[in-house]
Structure 1
Amino acid sequence: MSVLFDLDMPKWALFFLPIIKELKKQNVNVIITSRGGEDYSELNKVLDLYKLDYISIGKYGGASLEGKLKASIDRQIKLIEIVKKYNVKVVVSGSVVDINRVAFGLGVKVINFYDMPLKGYNNNLQLALPQIKLSIPLSTKVFKPFVVPTDIYLNLGLVKDQVIEYHFLDPLIWLKDFTPDINYIKKEIPEIDFNKKIIVIREEEFKASYVQNQYPYFYKVIDSLQNLDINLIIIPRYEAAHLKEKFKKAIVLEKKIILQHLLAFSDLFIGGGGTINIEATYFGVPVISTRSFISHYDKFLIDNALMWHSNDKDEILHLTKKLLSKKTTQKAKEVYSKMEVDIDMFVNEIIK
């Protein structure tokens, strides 16, 4: 039996890795494809970092809608040949439009995962992400975390038997067995002064189809923070060069490292992303989310006092001073200890 995992973001490499390992133990032929062209190298760098074999197909398409569309059409044509070549029976993805369209068109079983179907948490389908509209309705099965209501998927055309709930936030699948190593960070980022506080910052994925604008206040926050007597570390979302030029007092990461080690020893995380924000909360690091909307899992973390949200420069700076010395380690243990990862459940649902 051949199962194809199609990846479009680094997160899915981490999420699917334990599932892939278990499938291989059961002699399932696993093929991994990535959307990691020259215009978006982050995914392939992560796959290389974790020594995963993969086939890189197509490219991201850039920030424009036309560019994304043309890249998607070209990639679908190439994926058709891969599915046929390996006689794929099941495709698994984080709701990647390309492979969903190809698999559905070829009559191949489609299994989707996605923890953020809407740009918000009020279950308004008008806020559904573009890729969700183009993928979820084609699903044979959908897996979703407990924080996302089932009704969203039912309103997208599925029935209850197709929607399978799991009882954890996505990063727990790779963090539950992770052991932070401070020596790894000392080696990879020797510029860090561990006698000072560490603030880590990540941009929003502003080229993504679900993000409307790149907000200037975010960079004004960085400009203010770099004058503090701290370690200010910026994780670029895309290119690093302009960040190094603009923020000369900050440490701008240019090479791919295992970021979880850094997060574990940070004092505060400020980010416009999703997955990495959750990861930081797992380690008891206070998180200020600067994303342009609040997702279902953001709302869960905010309600549990592990995350704060703001799109205002002055408020973010105020929260920074307030939270910089207030680790949330105990609260994080309480919240995450109630979650359970069941790899066998995923594997059984994929192959049955």
Structure 2
Amino acid sequence: MKILIDVLTPKQLLLFKILKRELEKRGNEVLLISRRYYEVEEAVKRFGGEVTYIGRHGGKELYSKLIAYGERVCEIARYVSEEGIDLAISFSSPETARVAFGLRIDHIAINDSPHAEAVARLTLPLSNLLFTPWIIPEEAWTSFGIAREKIVKYRGLDPVAWIRRRKPSRRIYRELGLEEGEEYIGIREPEIWASYIEEKERRKTREVIKWIIENIEFKKVILPRYGVRSFIRGFEDRKDVIIPRKMVDGLSLTYFSKIFIGGGGTMTAEAALQGTPTISIFPGRPYEVEKFLIRKGLIMRIEAKKELKEAFNTLENQRKEIAERASQLLRYMEDPIRKIVDTLSEYYDL
């Protein structure tokens, strides 16, 4: 089969490079496409991958998102028709789902984020299968228009796929300009342009990050999003703040962090599953993966800066216990890629 995979984020690049390799082992031809978007382009430079760029990121404004969507649908439609694609896979890409539906090609969705409602509404009714972590209730998906029998669950979280295949490297210290073993706090900004995050939540999260920068004595490594630094403007010149100029290896950065502060989902889960004491500052309501990791005692959720000092002290005292719980949970989980490939082989005789 000739399979198209749409890669929209760095996380998806890590996941889909593995999926591509496993599908190719079974004799399939797999083409990766993406869009012009700083984070993906930097990830491709860092981790490699043969990617065809089609269209662009729509930015933060609703109008520009809509226009970029329409343009990209047209361009992907031409590409799919010219290449003779048999099957499309995406992490709920609205453009690829729409093109596949319009050209009567099966679309396979992978998704762990029912809180991203707009994306789910635009893709799941058009998808032939949905692969998702077992902890997310089926009702969270069927409400968006996909039938229960089309949902396939895997007993794992997405970062398991690359955590099991790669090892953290101490080269991260050199990349960050630190002495090997020097303690630092890793901080990942939230997706401030995401449609599901309100402005008041953005402001509150920025205040939390500001408090950490001004009150925690260790070096702070801050990973901005979208190639812009507006969210942390005013902190760049501090000697205790490191803002990498290029994309760094997130697996290593989260593993060696003294404490990791996550504003998004992927790196928060990645840190937690590696046993790093982790605080979530995700703006908005807790999401399913976050709630699960909180129940397992692997992350703490902070919604106000006044809670931070106590959280830091608590995590410092539980470091060993957190590492043990993470190791046990990681052993319990299955490889999402294996589940996806085995299931697709049953459905499509790959």
For residue 215 of structure 1, report the CA deviation from its aligned partner: 2.6
Q: Which of 205, 228, 235 pairs up with 1:246?
A: 235
| SS of alignment partner, residue 169 of structure 1 | coil
Q: Which residue of 2 aligns with 1:307?
A: 299
Q: Which residue of 2 aligns with 1:121?
A: none
Aligned letter for 2:248? I
Aligned letter for 1:191? L
Mean Cα deviation higher: 146-155 or 243-252 = 243-252
Measure, in 2, the Cα distance between the counterparts of 1:342 and 1:216: 35
Measure, in 2, the Cα distance between the counterparts of 1:171 and 1:46: 16
Q: Supply the RMSD in Å over aligned alpha carbons.
A: 1.8
> CA offsets per residue over residues 147-173 of structure 1, 9 Å max, x none?
111223333333333111111011101
| SS of alignment partner, residue 177 of structure 1 | coil
Map 1:123-162 → 2, pairs under 5 A: 129-162=117-150
Q: Which residue of 2 aligns with 1:334?
A: 328
For residue 193 of structure 1, report the CA deviation from its aligned partner: 6.6
Unaligned runs of 5+ in 1: 119-127
Map 1:1-352 → 2, pairs under 5 A: 1-35=1-35, 37=36, 40-118=37-115, 129-182=117-170, 184-192=171-179, 194-195=181-182, 197-213=183-199, 215-227=202-214, 228-242=216-230, 243=232, 245-247=234-236, 248=238, 249-291=240-282, 292-324=284-316, 326-327=318-319, 328-341=322-335, 343-351=337-345, 352=348
Measure, in 2, the Cα distance between the counterparts of 1:163 and 1:234: 37
Q: Larger helix proportion, structure 1 or 2?
A: 2
> CA offsets per residue over residues 125-165 of structure 1, 9 Å max, x none?
xxx61010010011111111101112233333333331111
> CA offsets per residue over residues 94-129 of structure 1, 9 Å max, x none?
0000000111011001100000112xxxxxxxxx61
Q: Percent identity?
A: 29
Mean Cα deviation higher: 21-30 or 236-245 = 236-245
Q: Is the 8 A contact 2:156 2:336 kept in 1?
A: no
Pick closer, same or farther for the CA change 1:350–1:319 going to 2, 3 Å: same
Mean Cα deviation higher: 212-221 or 21-30 = 212-221
For residue 17 of structure 1, report the CA deviation from its aligned partner: 1.7
Q: TM-score, normalised by structure 1?
A: 0.91
For residue 27 of structure 1, report the CA deviation from its aligned partner: 2.1
Measure, in 2, the Cα distance between the counterparts of 1:226 and 1:156: 40
> CA offsets per residue over residues 262-282 of structure 1, 9 Å max, x none?
111111111210011000001
Aligned letter for 2:304? D
| SS of alignment partner, residue 3 of structure 2 | strand
Measure, in 1, the Cα distance between the counterparts of 2:189 and 2:246: 16
Pick closer, same or farther for the CA change 1:146–1:316 going to 2, 3 Å: same
Aligned letter for 1:150? E
Number of equivalent positions: 338
Aligned letter for 2:53? S
Q: Is the 8 A contact 1:267 1:325 kept in 2?
A: no
> CA offsets per residue over residues 2-41 of structure 1, 9 Å max, x none?
1000111111111122211011122211111102x2xx31
For residue 337 of structure 1, report the CA deviation from its aligned partner: 1.4
Pick closer, same or farther for the CA change 1:22–1:298 going to 2, 3 Å: same
| SS of alignment partner, residue 221 of structure 2 | strand
Aligned letter for 2:148? K
For residue 192 of structure 1, report the CA deviation from its aligned partner: 4.9
For residue 241 of structure 1, report the CA deviation from its aligned partner: 4.5
Aligned letter for 2:9? M
Q: Is the 8 A contact 1:302 1:308 kept in 2?
A: yes
Q: Is the 8 A contact 1:240 1:252 kept in 2?
A: no
For residue 283 of structure 1, report the CA deviation from its aligned partner: 1.4
> CA offsets per residue over residues 312-334 of structure 1, 9 Å max, x none?
01112331233245321111112
Measure, in 1, the Cα distance between the counterparts of 2:278 and 2:10: 20
Aligned letter for 1:32? L
Pick closer, same or farther for the CA change 1:342–1:185 going to 2, 3 Å: closer
Pick closer, same or farther for the CA change 1:219–1:160 going to 2, 3 Å: closer
Runs of 4+ more than 6 Å apart: none
Aligned letter for 2:198? Q
Q: TM-score, normalised by structure 2?
A: 0.91
Measure, in 2, the Cα distance between the counterparts of 1:317 and 1:217: 17
Measure, in 2, the Cα distance between the counterparts of 1:276 and 1:334: 19
